[in-house]
Amino acid sequence: MKTMTCRALGGPCDLEHRGATADEVIKAQDAHLKEAAGGGDAAHGPAREAMKARWRHPKRSMDWYREAKAAFAALPED
């Protein structure tokens, strides 16, 4: 298991997401942004919109995805 924060994935806070793969952590971040922005947290709104844009345009988002996967891979195991 490895840990990445919301901030490390482009969000505004230090909530930690744990997962065995980068995809697990990215999905946890997506859920966190959805919940926070949906609950009225204005700080998470821009990050949520950026995440939604990535899901809608995956070809244009591959750089972000590759960077997130590389950052995850470089982390030590928890």
Given a contact cutoff of 8 angstroms between Cβ atoms, the answer to whether 25 and 4 are in contact is yes
CB atoms within 10 A of CB 2: 19
**pLDDT for the residue numbered 58:** 76
**pLDDT for the residue numbered 55:** 79
The structure's pTM equals 0.89
**pLDDT for the residue numbered 23:** 96
Q: pLDDT tens digits for 19-70?
A: 999 999 999 999 999 999 999 999 999 999 988 888 788 787 898 999 999 9
Q: Where do the structural domains in the chain lie, given as residue ranges?
A: 2-74
Handedness of CA 65, 27, 8, 33 (dihedral sign): positive
**pLDDT for the residue numbered 19:** 98
